[in-house]
Amino acid sequence: MNKIAILTSGGDAPGMNPAIRAVARTAIFYNIEVVGVRYGFKGLIEKDFFDMKRSSVADIIQKGGTVLFSARCEEFRTREGREKAYQNMREEGIDALVVIGGDGSLHGVQKINQESEISAVGIPATIDNDLSCTDYTIGVDTAMNTILDAINKIRDTATSHERTFVIECMGRDSGYLALMTGLAGGAEFILVPEIDFTPQEVTNRIVQGFNKGKLHSLILIAEGVKAPFVDLTGYNGSPGLAMGDLIREKTGMETRVTILGHLQRGGSPTAIDRIIASRMGAKAVDLLIEGHRDIMINYKDNSIGSCKIADAIVEKQQIDMDIYNLSSILSM
């Protein structure tokens, strides 16, 4: 193997830069040339390549986002577009490709392996932590700490004014972020897409809490929650805003809504994200050298390994009901 390319795709996640750094420097250690690809799969089609040296990844381990940039690419979804990408990589002499991203990015990795001779592997990087076959995806720890910091600050205001606050966090169709930060932040109620709930359950918990002398109530809701009992018209599909209206209507309590939005995707990666990203990046190069392809690097039981791409994208990671039940007990 003479040349490895690296790209980041999909939504950015804190820790992508440490992963890029690890791939580049591990490959260079083994005397393999490294090519950076700007703007994800779009960069493959447009041949937006540049040579990477050790100095190319200096001082990026602490930075959020991705120095390789990221972009959606509809053209790569077509066979014609992918053939352009394969031809560009052949002309550049690229033997292997490391793709850092989430579910959609891994589907791209699968296509490359199925349709070309180029060996491609994926490194899971998404704050949603919604991929199967891995306990952990790069970026989720930083996102959780960002949400937790917001919860802590909102709690101060909630207590001062004795109000109910609804906090909406990201996670796409997964409730992992909401569940874990809700437990860590002591939320009174955690609403996730995977678990059904009724408006009465939520409002009863709020009223019971105030009757017991609680000074505030924090409701953490995942952006993927679909609540058919709430009319989301006019709210851009936001379950947080709809839930705030519902609570005000049913309880008469003053309620505020905070939608955390994209601030959850930014920021300097935590130590855990940097460590796991570095280990995953190095492992990707090691496995490519050994001749592996069509795999995703994973993290299971504190060990870095790999699994087939097909297994990683076949289903979503499931909610841990023990943690959900514990959060309910502790918030009483």
Q: Is the CATH number 3.40.50.460 carried by domain 142-265?
A: yes
Q: Is 92 annotated as a binding residue?
A: no
Q: Is 128 annotated as a binding residue?
A: yes
Q: What is the rounded distance in angstroms from the CA atom of residue 31 to the CA atom of residue 245? A: 60
| pLDDT score of 12 | 96
| pLDDT score of 298 | 98
Q: What is the rounded distance in angstroms from the CA atom of residue 25 to the CA atom of residue 21? A: 6
Contact (Cβ atoms closer than 8 angstroms) between residue 139 and residue 173: no
Cα 10–chain centre separation: 10
| pLDDT score of 233 | 53
Q: Is 166 annotated as a binding residue?
A: no
Topology adopted by domain 3-139+269-313: Rossmann fold (3.40.50)
Q: Is 223 annotated as a binding residue?
A: yes
Q: What is the rounded distance in angstroms from the CA atom of residue 284 to the CA atom of residue 75? A: 26
Domain boundaries, the chain: 3-139+269-313, 142-265
Rg of the chain on CA atoms, in Å: 22
Q: Establish whether domains 3-139+269-313 and 142-265 are of one fold.
A: yes
Q: What strands, in cross-sheet order, belong to the sheet with 164-169?
A: 189-191, 217-222, 164-169, 255-259
Q: Is 186 annotated as a binding residue?
A: yes
Active site annotation includes 286: no
Place of tokens 């950076």: 36
Q: Is 166 helix (H, G, I), strand (E, B) or coil?
A: strand
Catalytic site residue from 128, 130, 141, 273: 128
Instruction: Show pLDDT as tens, one digit a residue, over the chain (332 residues).
Output: 999 999 999 999 999 999 999 999 999 999 999 999 999 999 999 999 999 999 999 999 999 999 999 998 999 999 999 999 999 999 999 999 999 999 999 999 999 999 999 999 999 999 999 999 999 999 999 999 999 999 999 999 998 888 899 999 999 999 999 999 999 999 999 999 999 888 888 889 889 888 888 878 999 999 998 755 455 555 556 889 889 988 998 899 999 999 999 999 999 999 999 999 999 999 999 999 999 999 999 999 999 999 999 999 987 788 899 999 999 899 87
Q: Is 292 annotated as a binding residue?
A: no
Q: Is 261 annotated as a binding residue?
A: no
Q: Quick count: other Cβ atoms within 10 Å of Cβ 193?
A: 21
Phi, psi (5° rounding) for residue 191? -110, 120
DSSP 316: B
Phi, psi (5° rounding) for residue 251? -115, -20
Q: Are strands 96-101 and 49-52 parallel, antiparallel or unpaired?
A: unpaired
